[in-house]
């Protein structure tokens, strides 16, 4: 409800309508309401409803004032179709609006400030011109101003000039508002003097209570600019009893008189989201579709409402749209056709040089770009550039962005600009297809890449010396770098100079590593980019970028692709004539090969992997004499040795290698921070955690001396995770592994809520990088295990039921992902099936049989029947189970514990660490952990970890 006043109005109306309308009138009211509200309300409006039921439904889906507005229109239409008077009802609503002073319709969401601004200007001035790009809501805004003016018993005359570009027609339409007998077709000649005299005569007894609203004046203004300027100047000067208000897509220049220009821009993001939600009522778009719609609509009200009205018709009763995000985006583009016509009109009114500039800038899309970047793309000097930007901003093609803050390594700080999102869509849909010359786009691409390459030069050698500062610089320009990585593989390699300067290739590799990209997008970029070097026989650069592609495949767990790329690199390596370069690449090949073998071979062949790592280490130390930067790779090799030792339960040796890795890297970076430091130190924490696990005898009771190790591991995890967040590395998929480890330590310390927060963050992170993937299924399964442990500890019935429901939903999430083709890691599979079958015992018989059928098929590897299985995953499983029942059926905490599944991991670095959720690695841990006899631990060494 809006406020108590509205509450009284609406409640009174409910009572009046219920008691005073007969059956036929109620039916007519319902039918007209459906017509006003649209098809999205048909499903929820019952033909047998009383008026009170109808109004309460609407009250739950829109602002009260909007309900009253619709009701007022409905009564007006009912009045036309029968003799019954509904005036008492409409008067009642009108009195409310007169007291409130406005309709406050859904259209006005996000325009409160603009509405107040225009009203304030009208009080002080003779006239106001509201201008801005088509679809921003200029007419809607002024209609609300006129409505308020009418409620104050003042007169409003509206002239719509959308269909004319003639001054004579405009004057005739104005004249007709004050002289109803005027018939334009009879040849009456209307000129400025006639209209001026008419206005003076009509308003001679008017104490400034008349408003003349000229809507869409830009056609007349643009077609007859000088006559329009002189005519409006004269009318503003000579008719001081009339308020003039106009809308235009262009500012009206050189108008003499008391006219204030007011520019209307796109809605604020939060208001745009609210408008979308209100426009979709009574249904709601899923979050992923909501974001896609807002991204394409660019916070333009007309675009949002156009799309929303069409999309809600596609929503089923459970708000489910059967479209992929890409299909949805395509649909949105089609729905925005009307808005594009507005933009097309505005674009065609630009001069040829302005059109040319906009086409050139379309290469960067909606990304914020500073003046230096625009200057490079358009090849302009500063003074004409500033004039150009000012004109494009005035015409709503460009949007000024916030100033660049803290540019750090990039020295220019100035206002940034971006193309309006709908302008970008317009270019993509029409100009690129029809009038956009390919060479124009290629030139713009080349100049844009030249600009980015200048930025990358400033990063050469900086990442290992001052990582945090370098990453901050990349992230502040992240969208630009992301666009660069899209464009650069498309260029002729001869046009790109990034590989010529020593160290530039490595700097670009680090930039690619820091920019937010999914593993699949990253691997595709490396694939395309490396092929461009092969075309010019640059085998050194080819091998470098193929190694980067291999790392991306290892992150994505695509071991077969990683193996294929490795074979290709080893073949091309023989073609290198530069012996030193060949040795450099060989060292990296050996390191990546060790990573691959560690993940691929089950059980791990420790001797073979360590032998390759030792060879890589020996070569690296030789190269370090000439290149001190090799210290980073040497520390990585030591860290990977620690991971291999951990895999075979040699925890003391693992601890030694991780500490050595920290020491080597700290000596190199001095007092600076570096992401690999957090990796190595975090790995020390995992060793301490696993040591504590081996010392633990009773799952239900943790002695204080063992709890100390869990606390120490947790402290290390917290510090490393905090440093990762400070360095901006928490968005990377490998960060999920660190969250999983910390969740394990938190569970042991009975901090289940904190552990669950980490599990949820891990799921969110994986979702951002993988669509349907085993990594995501594993993340949901580990969340289910945390919930299960928490349920065993809960004493309060209400809290127990809450977590039971979350547990059920998480098991169903795993179920759904498996059906979608993302099976669990093998070592998780049997535990999940045990948990799911146990929980199914509390389900109704039908649901229980569906779950059992799913489990049987999954267990023996039979294909799923999509129809029946999808029904199972989507069905509403309503049941309750007590924590006591669960603990009996699902096993003890010891049985459900995942300590050996919590793999020790190197976490990805640019030199190739493995993510903690490697399914193969977890399987290896599981197979080796059959009994504690296989692990020999001396508690004295654990004490020494401190």
Instruction: Check pLDDT > 90 for residue 658.
Output: yes
Q: CA–CA separation, 16 vs 1, rounded Å?
A: 19
Instruction: Report which of 597, 575, 266 is spatially closest to residue 418, judged by C-alpha positions.
Output: 266
Looking at per-residue pLDDT, the higher value among 811 and 894 belongs to: 811
Instruction: Check pLDDT > 50 for residue 622.
Output: yes
User: Beta strand 259-263 with 210-215: parallel, antiparallel or unpaired?
Assistant: unpaired
Instruction: Check pLDDT > 60 for residue 533.
Output: yes
pLDDT for res 240: 74
Cβ(310)–Cβ(393) under 8 Å? no
- Residue whose token pair is 């009108």: 94
Average predicted confidence (pLDDT) for the chain: 76
Lowest average pLDDT, out of 172-186, 704-718, 788-802, goes to 172-186
What confidence tier does 618 reach under pLDDT thresholds 50, 70, 90? very high
Q: CA–CA separation, 311 vs 304, rounded Å?
A: 10
- CA distances 869 to 71, 826, 837, 863, 864, Å, are 46, 21, 16, 10, 7
Q: Which of 191-195, 204-208, 729-733, 782-786 has the highest mean pLDDT?
A: 782-786
pLDDT for res 84: 55
Residue 268 DSSP one-character state: P
pLDDT for res 33: 76
Instruction: Name the H helices within 164-268.
Output: 167-178, 192-202, 218-223, 225-238
Percent of the chain with pLDDT over 90: 15
Q: CA–CA separation, 895 vs 887, rounded Å?
A: 11
Instruction: Check pLDDT > 50 for residue 933.
Output: no
pLDDT in tens, 450-500: 888 888 877 776 776 677 777 777 877 778 888 888 888 877 765 555 455
Q: CA–CA separation, 239 vs 63, rounded Å?
A: 40
In this structure, what are the phi and psi dihedrals at residue 243, rounded to the nearest 5 degrees? -95, 130
Instruction: Check pLDDT > 50 for residue 83.
Output: no
Cβ(316)–Cβ(354) under 8 Å? no
Q: CA–CA separation, 776 vs 518, rounded Å?
A: 14
pLDDT for res 406: 43
Instruction: Check pLDDT > 90 for residue 179.
Output: no
Instruction: Check pLDDT > 80 for residue 138.
Output: yes
pLDDT for res 494: 57
Q: CA–CA separation, 756 vs 790, rounded Å?
A: 9
Number of Cβ within 10 Å of residue 520's Cβ equals 17
Looking at per-residue pLDDT, the higher value among 218 and 84 belongs to: 218
Number of Cβ within 10 Å of residue 494's Cβ equals 9
pLDDT for res 8: 63
Q: CA–CA separation, 916 vs 641, rounded Å?
A: 16
What confidence tier does 645 reach under pLDDT thresholds 50, 70, 90? very high
Looking at per-residue pLDDT, the higher value among 833 and 418 belongs to: 833
Instruction: Check pLDDT > 50 for residue 870.
Output: no
Cβ(283)–Cβ(40) under 8 Å? yes
pLDDT in tens, 380-415: 888 888 888 878 877 778 877 755 544 434 544 567
The DSSP-derived string for 305-370 is HHHHHHHHTT--TT------HHHHHHHHHHHTHHHHHHHHHHHHTS-HHHHHHHHHHGGGTT--EE
Residue 934 burial by CB count (10 A; 0-12/13-18/19+): exposed, middle or buried?
Answer: exposed
pLDDT in tens, 34-44: 766 766 666 66
Looking at per-residue pLDDT, the higher value among 8 and 597 belongs to: 597
pLDDT for res 203: 65
pLDDT in tens, 816-862: 889 888 889 888 898 999 999 988 888 888 888 889 999 999 988 88
Average pLDDT, stretch 757-777? 83
Instruction: Name the H helices within 875-935.
Output: 883-890, 893-896, 919-928
Average pLDDT, stretch 867-876? 41
pLDDT for res 894: 36
pLDDT for res 890: 38
Instruction: Check pLDDT > 60 for residue 580.
Output: yes
pLDDT for res 586: 92
Cβ(673)–Cβ(946) under 8 Å? no
Instruction: Name the H helices within 559-703.
Output: 559-573, 579-600, 606-624, 630-647, 651-669, 675-695
Q: CA–CA separation, 24 vs 14, rounded Å?
A: 17
Q: What b/e readout covers 597-624, taking b as 16+ CB neighbours within 10 angstroms? A: bbbeeeebeeeebbebbeebbebbeebe
Percent of the chain with pLDDT over 70: 75
Q: How far is CA 78 from the centre of its chain?
A: 46
pLDDT for res 764: 87
**pTM assigned to the model:** 0.57
Instruction: Check pLDDT > 60 for residue 319.
Output: no
What confidence tier does 810 reach under pLDDT thresholds 50, 70, 90? very high
Instruction: Give the up-direction half-sphere exposure of residue 342: CA atoms within 13 A in the CB hemisphere.
Output: 23
Lowest average pLDDT, out of 87-101, 126-140, 689-703, 760-774, goes to 87-101
Instruction: Check pLDDT > 70 for residue 924.
Output: no
Cβ(917)–Cβ(778) under 8 Å? yes
Cβ(381)–Cβ(459) under 8 Å? no
Cβ(138)–Cβ(132) under 8 Å? yes
Angle, vertex CA 681, rays to CA 678 and CA 684, nearest 5: 150
Lowest average pLDDT, out of 366-370, 515-519, 659-663, goes to 515-519
Lowest average pLDDT, out of 22-26, 63-67, 301-305, 444-448, goes to 63-67
pLDDT for res 728: 73
């Amino acid at each position: 409800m809006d406020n108590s006043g509205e509450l009284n109005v609406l409640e009174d109306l409910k009572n009046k309508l219920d008691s005073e309308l007969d059956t036929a009138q109620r039916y007519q009211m319902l039918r007209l309401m459906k017509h006003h509200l649209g098809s999205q309300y048909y499903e929820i409006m019952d033909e047998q409803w009383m008026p009170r039921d109808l109004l309460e439904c609407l009250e739950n889906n829109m602002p009260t004032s909007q309900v009253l507005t619709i009701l007022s229109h409905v009564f007006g239409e009912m009045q036309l179709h029968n003799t019954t008077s509904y005036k008492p009802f409409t008067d009642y609503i009108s009195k409310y609006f007169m007291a409130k002073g406005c309709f406050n319709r859904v259209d006005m969401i996000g325009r409160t400030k603009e509405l107040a601004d225009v009203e304030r200007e009208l009080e002080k001035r003779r006239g106001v011109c509201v201008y801005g790009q088509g679809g921003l809501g200029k007419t809607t805004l002024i209609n609300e101003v006129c409505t308020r003016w009418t409620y104050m018993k003042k007169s409003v005359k509206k002239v719509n000039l959308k269909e004319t570009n003639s001054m004579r027609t405009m004057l005739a339409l104005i004249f007709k508002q004050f002289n109803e007998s005027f018939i334009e077709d009879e040849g009456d000649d209307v000129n400025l003097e006639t209209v001026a005299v008419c206005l003076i005569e009509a308003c001679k007894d008017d104490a400034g209570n008349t408003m003349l609203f000229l809507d869409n004046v830009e056609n007349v203004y643009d077609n007859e600019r000088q006559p329009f300027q002189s005519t409006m100047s004269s009318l503003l000067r000579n008719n001081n009893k009339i308020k003039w208000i106009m809308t235009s897509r262009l500012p009206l220049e050189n108008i003499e008189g008391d006219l204030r220009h007011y520019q209307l821009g796109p809605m604020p993001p939060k208001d745009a989201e609210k408008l979308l939600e209100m426009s979709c009522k009574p249904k709601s778009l899923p979050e992923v579709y909501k974001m896609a719609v807002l991204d394409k609509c660019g916070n333009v009200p007309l675009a949002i409402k156009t799309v929303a009205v069409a999309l809600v018709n596609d929503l089923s009763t459970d708000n489910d749209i059967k479209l992929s995000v890409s299909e949805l985006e395509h649909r949105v583009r089609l729905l925005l056709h009307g808005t594009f016509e507005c933009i097309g009109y505005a674009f065609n009114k630009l001069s040829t040089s302005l059109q040319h500039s906009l086409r050139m800038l379309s290469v960067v899309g909606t990304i914020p770009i500073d003046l230096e970047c625009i200057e490079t793309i358009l090849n302009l000097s500063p003074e004409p550039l500033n004039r150009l930007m000012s004109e494009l901003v005035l015409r709503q093609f460009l949007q000024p962005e916030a100033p660049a803050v803290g540019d750090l390594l990039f020295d220019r700080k100035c206002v940034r600009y971006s193309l309006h999102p709908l302008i970008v869509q317009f270019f993509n849909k029409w100009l690129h297809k029809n009038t956009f010359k390919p060479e124009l786009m290629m030139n713009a691409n080349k100049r844009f890449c030249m600009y980015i390459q200048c930025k990358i030069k400033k990063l050469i050698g900086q990442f290992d010396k001052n990582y945090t500062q370098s990453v901050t610089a990349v992230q502040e320009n992240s969208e630009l770098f992301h666009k660069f990585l899209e464009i650069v593989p498309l260029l002729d390699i001869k046009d790109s100079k990034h590989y010529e300067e020593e160290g530039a290739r490595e700097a670009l590799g680090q930039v690619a590593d820091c920019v937010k990209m999914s593993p699949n997008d990253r691997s595709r970029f490396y694939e395309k980019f490396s092929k461009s070097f092969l075309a010019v026989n640059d085998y050194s650069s080819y091998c470098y970028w193929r190694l980067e592609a291999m790392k991306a495949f290892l992150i994505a767990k695509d071991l077969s692709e990683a193996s294929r790329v490795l074979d290709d690199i080893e073949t091309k390596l023989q073609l290198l004539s530069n012996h030193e370069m060949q040795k450099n690449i060989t060292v990296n090949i050996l390191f990546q090969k060790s990573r691959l073998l560690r993940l691929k071979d089950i059980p791990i062949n420790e001797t073979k992997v360590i032998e390759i790592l030792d060879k890589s280490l020996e070569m690296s130390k030789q190269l370090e004499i000439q290149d001190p930067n090799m210290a980073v790779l040497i520390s990585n090799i030591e860290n990977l040795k620690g991971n291999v030792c951990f895999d075979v339960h040699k925890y003391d040796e693992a601890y030694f290698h991780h500490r050595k890795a920290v020491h080597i890297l700290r000596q190199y970076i001095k007092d600076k921070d570096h992401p690999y430091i957090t990796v190595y130190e975090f790995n020390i924490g995992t060793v301490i955690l696993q040591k504590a696990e081996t010392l633990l005898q009773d799952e239900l009771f943790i002695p204080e001396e063992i709890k100390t190790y869990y606390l120490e591991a947790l402290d290390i995890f917290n510090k490393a995770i905090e440093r990762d967040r400070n360095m901006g590395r928490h968005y990377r998929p490998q960060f999920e592994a660190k969250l999983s480890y910390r969740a394990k330590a938190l569970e042991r310390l009975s901090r289940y809520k904190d552990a669950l927060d980490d599990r949820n963050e891990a799921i969110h992170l994986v979702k951002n990088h993988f669509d349907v993937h085993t990594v995501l299924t594993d993340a949901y399964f580990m969340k289910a295990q945390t919930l299960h442990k928490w349920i065993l500890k809960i004493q309060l019935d209400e809290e127990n039921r809450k977590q039971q429901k979350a547990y059920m939903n998480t098991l169903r999430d795993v179920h759904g992902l498996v059906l979608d083709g993302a099976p669990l890691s093998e070592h998780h599979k049997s535990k999940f099936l045990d948990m799911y079958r146990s929980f199914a015992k509390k389900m109704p018989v039908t649901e229980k049989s569906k779950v059992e059928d799913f489990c049987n098929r999954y267990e023996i590897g039979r294909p799923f029947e999509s129809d029946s299985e999808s029904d199972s995953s989507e069905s509403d499983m309503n049941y309750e189970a007590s924590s006591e029942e669960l603990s009996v059926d699902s096993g003890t905490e010891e049985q459900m514990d995942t300590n050996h599944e919590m793999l020790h991991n190197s976490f990805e670095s640019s030199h190739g660490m493995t993510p903690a959720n490697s399914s193969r690695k977890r399987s290896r841990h599981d197979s080796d952990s059959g009994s504690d006899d296989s692990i020999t631990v001396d508690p004295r060494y654990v004490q020494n970890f401190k």
